[in-house]
Amino acid sequence: MTDETAPPRRRDTWDKAAIVLQPVGGLLTALAVAILGFWTSSYLRDREARETALRERMDTSETNARLYSELISKREESESALRKDMFTSIINSFLGGGAGNLEQKVLNLELLVYNFHESLDLKPLFLHIARQARTSPDRSEYMARLNRVAEEISKKQMLVIEEGGAAFDVSADGKALAFVGPDGVSRVPYVARDLVVDGIGRNFKLEILDFDKAGEQVQLRITVRTAEPTGTETISTEFWVGHFDFPMIDNTRLPHDQRVAVVMNALDPGSARADLTLAYFPGKYAGLREKPYYDEVLAKLLAVNAAAFIPPATPTPAASRR
């Protein structure tokens, strides 16, 4: 039997704390849920705002890119139309009716060269005007203008070519049909140099075959040797080089879409001394009319794909046993 008359148990400190903390716990729980809900909704709003801003920036970027592309396309179309009209007008002055005076022909040639030197082989036109200039009373003035234009274009093209190519300078003696030695006095029958472009090394041998004092040209033979895995590949060609041979147009095609050209920097007809530069460069720096062959384009694409593909490393037997 229980003692019904026993006095009630007195509450200790923990009982009192439980009575006080029970409502406080509910309040803290409600407050925590409210804070978590507010933080979650705030995070979602910020995320949605960032995504919206990102989409707006992407849309703006696409719009700007599209507008820029359209503006560039329109500008290229207008420039092409202008260049077409200019080319037609200038070339008709040479091929159309009416002889025209020599001053007008030289001026038209200057306009043609400065605007189309990367896409046209203008050497025949230079030689044609030069022949007429040599019979003119103002021979020295017109020849100086022609040579100055040719020199400026050669330098301009060489600056572009040397960005991705390699070159070396030589001095030729047209009377001895030899090159000036390193000491500036002796004469050597040929000059040979090793040049490397795009990882392909070639040996270039240059020889003088003839000298045309009247035409101010030098006949050269160039021999190119390339060390290939299957043996040494040799290419030899002969050509004339003068003031009006520009490297982007007047060059020799080499395997792997590469080119070699010789430029005449200066010529002294009296001493038959000519300063030459041999340039070895990738085909992408050639003139617009010099297009790579389809097999060269395919070889480049295959090389790029092969370089991009990196096969997974095969573990060695020793590594697999670890």
CB 127 within 8 A of CB 244: yes
Q: What is the pLDDT of residues 200-247, one digit of tens each?
A: 999 999 999 999 988 889 999 999 999 877 767 889 999 999 999 999
Half-sphere exposure of 132 (CA within 13 A, CB side): 14
Residue 171: count of CB within 10 angstroms of its CB:
15
For the cut 70, the answer to whether the pLDDT of residue 22 exceeds it is no
What residues form DSSP beta bridges with 169? 277
More confident residue, 152 or 67: 152
The mean pLDDT of 156-182, rounded to a whole number, is 91
Burial class (CB in 10 A: 0-12, 13-18, 19+), 284: exposed
Which of 31-35, 62-66, 80-84, 154-158 shows the lowest per-residue confidence on average (mean pLDDT)?
80-84
Which of 24-33, 135-144, 193-202 shows the lowest per-residue confidence on average (mean pLDDT)?
24-33
For the cut 50, the answer to whether the pLDDT of residue 271 exceeds it is yes
pLDDT at res. 295: 55
Which of 31-35, 139-143, 248-252 shows the lowest per-residue confidence on average (mean pLDDT)?
31-35
Long-range contacts of 198-201 (CB under 8 A, 24+ apart): 198/164, 198/256, 198/258, 198/282, 200/226, 200/256, 200/258, 201/226, 201/227
Q: Give exposure, 225-261, as e/b (b: 16+ Cβ within 10 Å).
A: bbeeeeeeeeeeeebbbbbbbbbbbbbebbebbbbbb
For the cut 60, the answer to whether the pLDDT of residue 294 exceeds it is no
**What angle (nearest 5°) sits at the alpha carbon of residue 318, between those of residues 314 and 320?**
55
Domain limits of the chain?
Answer: 99-293
Residue % of the chain over a pLDDT of 90: 30
**What angle (nearest 5°) sits at the alpha carbon of residue 254, between those of residues 197 and 181?**
65
- Which pair of tokens denotes residue 19? 């009575």
For the cut 80, the answer to whether the pLDDT of residue 23 exceeds it is no
Rounded-to-integer distance, Cα 178 and Cα 71, Å: 55
pLDDT at res. 290: 54
pTM: 0.63
pLDDT at res. 320: 38
pLDDT category of residue 322 using cuts at 50, 70 and 90? very low
Residue % of the chain over a pLDDT of 70: 75
The mean pLDDT of 4-22, rounded to a whole number, is 62
**Helix, strand, coil distribution of the chain in percent, nearest 5:** 50, 25, 25
Rounded-to-integer distance, Cα 39 and Cα 27, Å: 18
Pairing of strands 273-282, 178-180: unpaired
For the cut 60, the answer to whether the pLDDT of residue 162 exceeds it is yes
pLDDT category of residue 319 using cuts at 50, 70 and 90? very low
Most confidently modeled range among 29-33, 92-96, 292-296, 299-303:
29-33
The mean pLDDT of 255-270, rounded to a whole number, is 90
Rounded-to-integer distance, Cα 213 and Cα 37, Å: 95
The mean pLDDT of 164-189, rounded to a whole number, is 91
Rounded-to-integer distance, Cα 130 and Cα 120, Å: 18
How does the average pLDDT of the chain come out, rounded?
Answer: 80
For the cut 70, the answer to whether the pLDDT of residue 1 exceeds it is no
pLDDT at res. 257: 87
Query: Which ranges of 96-119 would DSSP assign to H, the alpha helix?
Result: 102-116
- Contacts for 288 with CB less than 8 Å, ≥ 6 apart: 118, 119
CB 97 within 8 A of CB 112: no
Residue 298's H or E segment, with its range, is helix 294-308
pLDDT at res. 316: 45
Q: What is the pLDDT of residues 57-106, one digit of tens each?
A: 888 888 888 887 888 777 777 766 766 766 676 777 666 655 568 888 88
Query: What secondary structure does DSSP assign to 32-101, as a single string?
Result: HHHHHHHHHHHHHHHHHHHHHHHHHHHHHHHHHHHHHHHHHHHHHHHHHHHHHHHHHHHHHHHHSS----
